[in-house]
Structure 1
Amino acid sequence: MTTFNLLLIALIQGVTEFLPISSSGHLILLPSLTGLDDQGQIIDVAAHVGTLIAVILYFWRDVRSALFGTLRLLQGKIDTQGAFLALCLLIATIPVILFGLFLKLTGLSEAMRGIAVIGWAMIIFGIVLYWADQKGPMTKTAEKWTLKDAFQMGLWQAIALIPGTSRSGMTITAGRMLGYTRTDAARLSMLMSIPTIIASAAILSLDVVSSGDTSAWRDIFIVVSMSFAAALLALSLMMRLLRSVSYTPYVVYRLALGSILLWIAYT
């Protein structure tokens, strides 16, 4: 692939991964609407690794707490805040792994990669996000995360495997419905992305290894670096904006893009 194509893919993945506008939907649309070649699994893995590094760096305090907590959890102990956070993240990740395996084994993941599906998902779940953000109370903080809330947010995260829904959008929607503040709903959503991205990258990596195609190291370096930089910038801006701005601008974008996609799909 050309350097321009790689940079475009990395920027799209990096900017959209943590915004509630669906990174997978945008990456699927890129070759469909521009005529560019599909980026392939190796580039997908590289882009995910870049965004993974960004979220780990941005939320390093929480990540470090969860890492030490995981060691306590492996010893059968849930006696620290970090261990409980690690347990919540584990509970929240189980639904998306199971649903993801189901979609992959049945072939439904490929069947849903159409422009019409993405368009409808953009609009429908954009409206749901707007409703949750406007009507949801803001009485909980991330420190009050419970196992029940983690499981419910995990179920919403599993639905996000439908292209166009947005993983961050679905988990933020769930968080706002459960009463978390805008910034804390986003914070939990980003922390939930870490094990999910790791699982996704691991599955894609297995496909890459089985294919035997591991030659594109220059492309991998470019995509990892650029997706990391773009994701870190997008994440920083969103978390700052949420202190004074609602999720409405993202909803407007989803409705506009979804309408355009449906027009393209049906005409």
Structure 2
Amino acid sequence: MTLFEIIILALIQGITEFLPISSSGHLLLPAELFGWVSQGLAFDVAVHVGSLLAVMIYFRQEISQMTVAWLTKGFSRNQTTDSKLAWYVIVATIPAVIIGFLTKSWIEENARTALVIAATTILFGLLLWYADSKAKHTRQLDSLTLKQSLVIGCFQVLALIPGTSRSGITMTAGLLMGLDRESCARFSFLLSIPVILGAGLLATWDLLQAKEAVDWAALFYGAAFSFVSAYLCIYLFLSWISRIGMLPFVIYRLLLGALLLWFVFV
């Protein structure tokens, strides 16, 4: 890849990993518009590392508090808010891990098509609009329950279908649970940590099996630009989401889905 391609793809990955707009839909566009080839496993690992570092550094205080609380209070009857939240993240991650392990190969072989991505981009965009428009936006993250976190985790399973958007579907579920927008986003971002870590480890394993030649400069730039774009995305999204709502992202998803359908049928 050229440096320009590295920068564009890393920025796309960093931004779309956390915005509710579907990363797989965006990663199809360079190939459709410019004929760019797949970035390869090594680059995929690098941009995941960049995104993971961004979310962990941004939420470093929360992660530290949750970890200490889980280790000290997580297995006692005197649970704290932080220890409960740690358990909720763990519980919400389990469904995607199980279903992802069972269906990974089938999805990669059958569902990674422009038509599927276009359809899910539009469909789950409309579901996000419905959830946001009907939500009460009254509950904060500390009111989340174990049952509700499990429901959000089950919704996250849908993100295994390309085009759904992991952040989009988990925020949709949070809104349906009555959480306010910022709380939905925060839980979605915390929930992304084990998911991105797992995806990165799987990609690393596949990379070791494939024994690809490694362009270390490309990996460095990919991780760096992914980190910067992801960190800024998280910061700006949490700053604006309570004011602007989900409608701008819904409209964007509809336009993106229509563009992908144009590529499919024209």
Which bin holds the TM-score, normalised by the shorter protein? over 0.9
State the shift of 1:41 in Å: 1.3
Question: Could you tell me which amino acid in structure 2 is paired with residue 119 of structure 1?
Answer: A
Match of 2:142 in 1: 143
Contact 2:138 2:179 in 1 (8 A): yes
Match of 1:52 in 2: 52
Separation of aligned partners in 2, 1:248 and 1:112: 27
Separation of aligned partners in 1, 2:76 and 2:29: 45
Separation of aligned partners in 2, 1:234 and 1:175: 20
Q: What are structure 2's unaligned runs of at least 5 residues? A: none
Identical counterparts, % of pairs: 40
Match of 1:263 in 2: 262
State the shift of 1:142 in Å: 0.7
Match of 1:231 in 2: 230
Mapping 1:27-66, distance limit 5 Å: 27-66=27-66
Segment of structure 1 superposing worse, 195-204 or 75-84: 75-84
Separation of aligned partners in 1, 2:38 and 2:126: 30
Match of 2:97 in 1: 97
Provide, for residues 160-207 of structure 1, a one-character-per-residue CA deviation record: whole Å limited to 9, x for no partner: 111111000000000000000011111111111011111111111111
State the shift of 1:34 in Å: 2.2
Separation of aligned partners in 2, 1:148 and 1:28: 36
Mapping 1:117-128, distance limit 5 Å: 117-128=116-127
Separation of aligned partners in 2, 1:41 and 1:82: 35
Segment of structure 1 superposing worse, 7-16 or 210-219: 210-219
Number of residue pairs aligned between Structure 1 and Structure 2: 265
Contact 1:69 1:85 in 2 (8 A): no
TM-score by length of structure 1 reads: 0.94
Provide, for residues 23-48 of structure 1, a one-character-per-residue CA deviation record: whole Å limited to 9, x for no partner: 12212343243211100111111111
State the shift of 1:88 in Å: 0.7
Match of 1:88 in 2: 88
Separation of aligned partners in 2, 1:52 and 1:136: 29
Provide, for residues 125-181 of structure 1, a one-character-per-residue CA deviation record: whole Å limited to 9, x for no partner: 111000000001112101112111111111111101111110000000000000000
Separation of aligned partners in 1, 2:219 and 2:68: 30
Separation of aligned partners in 1, 2:28 and 2:41: 12
Does residue 1:116 correspond to 2:115, yes or no? yes
TM-score by length of structure 2 reads: 0.94
Separation of aligned partners in 2, 1:90 and 1:84: 10
Question: Could you tell me which amino acid in structure 1 is paired with residue 60 of structure 2?
Answer: W
Contact 2:107 2:161 in 1 (8 A): no
SS in 2 for 1:244: helix
Question: Could you tell me which amino acid in structure 1 is paired with residue 63 of structure 2?
Answer: V
Residues 58, 144 of structure 1: alpha-carbon distance in 2 compared, 3 angstrom cutoff: same
State the shift of 1:214 in Å: 5.8
Residues 180, 35 of structure 1: alpha-carbon distance in 2 compared, 3 angstrom cutoff: same
Separation of aligned partners in 1, 2:151 and 2:108: 22
Separation of aligned partners in 1, 2:194 and 2:97: 10
- The ranges of structure 1 where at least 4 consecutive aligned residues each deviate by more than 6 angstroms after the TM superposition are none
Question: Could you tell me which amino acid in structure 1 is paired with residue 35 of structure 2?
Answer: G
Question: Could you tell me which amino acid in structure 1 is paired with residue 261 of structure 2?
Answer: L
Contact 1:149 1:178 in 2 (8 A): yes
Question: Could you tell me which amino acid in structure 2 is paired with residue 197 of structure 1?
Answer: I
Separation of aligned partners in 1, 2:72 and 2:165: 32
Question: Could you tell me which amino acid in structure 2 is paired with residue 47 of structure 1?
Answer: V
